[in-house]
């Protein structure tokens, strides 16, 4: 294990922040004050936190519709995320983007977008630019298992291999595309890593619910990428604890595509519980410390929610702002 | 200094000039570094800047467009070439769902993603249903893009340069049938800019608004009409987005008779947009119903006589102008249509 105590505690706290944020949103979401389709990332924290833990500030991450985890793990501002969900001017996209269109360039979180697979190509373009400029930075694309069914996945991986681009493709395999299980989406015996390998992309599948396993693999891949060994794909096996979009658990709503038993199995493999147990076992934290950190995160999220609810709305007079650059002079009236 | 060069040479000059002043510009797409150099338009850029800035790509229109977005976010500026713009349908997700919305939906905080898509339109010589469409009406529907249609060598250069200095993703529709046209083009163009229609010929009886290769046809029609004693104005919108409504409305009001000619179909097309503009802004000046001349409402056929019936051309434009003016003529305008000397296959 090559992570020091501070790094391990940092990762745990980052996962707590993501979980508490997502659960806080789930709590207030039924109020109908957050009016943006929201795909909560509870249960998948270790992927975002494990990968982002080993990134540098100028490494660029992009994400998808379930993107709060990556935004927060890369260091994105908590309040500006919550304000975005509330549609306020303080939001990271000033209420123009919503849950699925986040950005915080100050921390290297370029953007998330909702169309499945779309951002894989964008990360590839970021990596192309990095390579052209001779930088040692890397681009990271987070996407789900369904994205590996889109044409743009194959186009991007193929291009990245041809040009040996410094891009880390991170597939969060949570076993379902909305409600469709893997066995209706891929032929038996085929794997996502196998598909990537066939395109020349070095790939590995890891336990995505163990933050240290994810971080170790990402670290190993990233250092090769910085030395020009790219591109690489990391498949992280994980599970979302809540419904595809919205604040509830599937079994609470009587949906049958996933059982409560399966859900409970994955609750047992909760990445935060596992990380906490390891920290206690290794004498790095007490149960009381863990509870205290969780309370800190809760306080932070609750304050962000209260502040966002009181924040200013965007002005209707600024509806057209940023369709084009404000300084570009259009000759058309 | 101004000299006569071809549309293709002008495209090349606009590109090379821009690449000289912006080292972040690179050109990619299928065949861009072939010896044929996209009908000669990328050869000089390749010779001057080499394969690091002009390089071939796999057949991956959508992915390549997404790559252009990512590179643009990092300060680069891609030129993506589609030797036939029909293939651009495959890039619609990245172009429309992301590029056009990027600045707006991240409220400017993720910056802009300017890049140029060169959309080459095939015409005639049996290009057929999937190699002769022009997607300008489709692409202009969406806020956040710039869409232009250069019709002359001057515009080919100036609009390329404007596109490569623009703040937003830009698509230029270049009609293959124009590539050998010659015209006056300055060696240096100082301040290229997005937008602005152009009046190519003044007239007082009828206004022909024509796009791309139809501008050439409209000018021929205007000559024929002059022989009939009719003075036709010819206006080229040049840019569909932003559309220079002011110049167009003035030109339409000046004659009160409007014929719109476009290189795509009628329903929800640019000719319809111009007609709507006439009704909204020039209603009291119109003296007759507006006429639209567009592709026949079927996919483009291959066989020569069918193809001949499919496209608007100088003679049909001339007849449409006479009709809107209520003028009868015994002239057989079939003689004015130019003989298509395009050498195939591509």
Q: Which residue, among B88, B9, B4, has the nearest Cα to B45 in the 3D structure?
A: B9
Say what percent of chain B tops pLDDT 90.
Answer: 96
Closest partner residue to A332 (CB to CB) among B26, B58, B245 is: B245
Residue A1: the pLDDT is 54
Cβ contact, residue pair A152, B66, below 8 Å: yes
Residue B61: the pLDDT is 98
Q: What is the mean pLDDT of residues B90-109?
A: 98
Cβ contact, residue pair A151, B74, below 8 Å: no
- Mind listing the pLDDT tens digit for each residue in A25-47? 999 999 999 999 999 999 999 99
Give A90-159 as a DSSP string.
TSTTTTSS-TTS--BGGGTEEEE-SSTTHHHHHHHHHHHHHHHTT----EEEEEEGGGGGSHHHHHHHHH
For B322, the token pair is: 């006479």
Top residue of B60, B63, B95, B97 to mutate, by most chain A CBs within 10 Å, is B63
Residue B339: the pLDDT is 81
Strand order in the sheet with A60-63: A109-112, A60-63, A139-144, A167-173, A232-237, A202-207
For A153, the token pair is: 């996945």
Residue listed under structure tokens 């802009």: B112
A315 in reach of chain B (CB within 8 A): no
Say what percent of chain A tops pLDDT 90.
Answer: 96
**DSSP character at residue A49:** H
Give the residue numbers of B annotated as catalytic, written as ranges: 131
Closest partner residue to A152 (CB to CB) among B58, B63, B108 is: B63
Cis status, amide bond into A231, omega within 30 of 0: yes
Closest partner residue to B70 (CB to CB) among A95, A121, A325 is: A121
The full 3-state SS of B204-273, as one line of letters, equals: CCEEEEECCHHHHHHHHHHHHHHHCCCCEEEEECCEEECCCHHHHHHHHHHHCCEEEECCCCCCCCHHHH
Task: Please state the ipTM of this predicted complex.
Answer: 0.97
**Considering only CB atoms, which chain B residues are within 8 Å of A104?**
109
Top residue of B77, B78, B109, B162 to mutate, by most chain A CBs within 10 Å, is B109
pTM over 0.95: yes
Cβ contact, residue pair A331, B244, below 8 Å: yes
Q: What is the mean pLDDT of residues B230-235?
A: 98
């Amino acid at each position: 294990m090559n992570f020091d105590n501070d790094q391990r505690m940092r990762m745990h706290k980052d996962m707590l922040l993501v979980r508490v944020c997502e659960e806080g949103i789930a709590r207030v979401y039924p109020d109908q004050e957050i009016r943006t389709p929201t795909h909560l990332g509870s249960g998948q924290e270790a992927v975002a936190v494990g990968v982002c833990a080993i990134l540098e500030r100028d490494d660029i991450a992009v994400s998808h519709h379930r993107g709060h985890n990556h935004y927060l793990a890369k260091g994105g501002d908590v309040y500006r995320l919550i304000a975005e969900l509330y549609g306020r001017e303080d939001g990271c996209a000033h209420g123009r983007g919503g849950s699925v269109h986040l950005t915080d360039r100050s921390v290297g979180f370029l953007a998330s977008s909702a169309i499945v697979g779309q951002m894989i190509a964008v990360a590839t373009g970021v990596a192309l630019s990095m390579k052209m400029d001779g930088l040692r930075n890397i681009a990271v694309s987070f996407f789900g298992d369904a994205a590996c069914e889109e044409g743009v996945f194959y186009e991007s991986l193929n291009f990245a291999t041809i040009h040996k681009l410094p891009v880390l493709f991170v597939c969060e395999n949570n076993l379902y595309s909305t409600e469709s299980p893997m066995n209706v989406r891929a032929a038996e015996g085929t794997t996502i890593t196998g598909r990537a390998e066939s395109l020349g992309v070095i790939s590995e599948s890891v336990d995505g619910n163990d933050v240290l396993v994810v971080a170790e693999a990402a670290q190993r891949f990233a250092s090769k990428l910085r030395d020009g060994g790219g591109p690489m794909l990391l498949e992280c096996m994980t599970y979302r604890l809540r419904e595809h979009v919205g604040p509830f658990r599937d079994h609470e709503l009587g949906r049958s595509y996933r059982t409560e038993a399966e859900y409970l199995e994955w609750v047992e493999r909760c990445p935060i519980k596992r990380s906490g147990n390891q920290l206690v076992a290794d004498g790095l934290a007490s149960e009381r410390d863990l509870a205290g950190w969780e309370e800190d995160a809760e306080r932070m999220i609750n304050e962000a929610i209260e502040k966002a609810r009181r924040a200013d709305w965007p002005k209707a007079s600024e509806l057209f702002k940023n369709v084009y650059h404000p300084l570009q002079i259009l000759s058309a009236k | 200094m101004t000299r006569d060069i071809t549309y293709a040479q002008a495209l090349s000059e606009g590109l090379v000039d821009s690449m000289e002043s912006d080292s972040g510009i690179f050109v990619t797409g299928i065949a861009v570094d072939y010896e044929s150099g996209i009908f000669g338009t990328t050869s000089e850029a390749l010779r001057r800047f080499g394969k690091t800035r002009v390089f071939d790509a796999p057949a991956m229109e959508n992915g390549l467009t997404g790559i252009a977005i990512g590179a643009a976010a990092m300060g680069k500026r891609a030129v993506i070439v589609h030797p036939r713009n029909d293939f651009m349908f495959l890039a619609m997700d990245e172009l429309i769902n992301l590029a056009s919305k990027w600045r707006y939906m991240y409220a400017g905080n993720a910056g802009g993603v300017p890049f140029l898509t060169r959309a080459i339109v095939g015409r005639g010589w049996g290009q057929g249903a999937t190699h002769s469409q022009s997607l300008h009406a489709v692409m202009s529907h969406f806020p956040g893009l710039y869409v232009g249609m250069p019709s002359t060598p001057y515009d080919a250069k100036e609009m390329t340069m404007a596109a490569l200095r623009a703040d937003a993703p830009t698509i230029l529709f270049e009609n293959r049938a124009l590539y050998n046209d010659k015209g006056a083009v300055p060696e240096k163009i100082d301040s290229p800019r997005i937008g602005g229609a152009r009046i190519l010929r003044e007239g007082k009886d009828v206004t022909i608004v024509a796009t791309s290769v139809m501008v050439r046809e409209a000018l021929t029609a205007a000559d024929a009409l002059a022989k009939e004693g009719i003075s036709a104005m010819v206006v080229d919108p040049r840019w569909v987005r932003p559309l220079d409504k002011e110049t167009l409305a003035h030109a339409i009001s000046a004659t009160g008779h409007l014929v719109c000619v476009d290189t795509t179909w009628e329903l929800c097309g640019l000719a319809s947009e111009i007609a709507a503009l006439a009704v909204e802004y020039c209603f009291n000046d119109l003296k007759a119903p507006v006429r639209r001349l567009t592709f026949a409402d079927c996919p483009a056929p291959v066989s020569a006589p069918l193809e001949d019936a499919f496209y608007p051309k100088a003679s049909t434009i001339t007849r449409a102008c006479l009709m809107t003016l209520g003028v009868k003529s015994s002239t057989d305008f079939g003689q004015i249509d130019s003989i298509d000397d395009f050498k195939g296959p591509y």
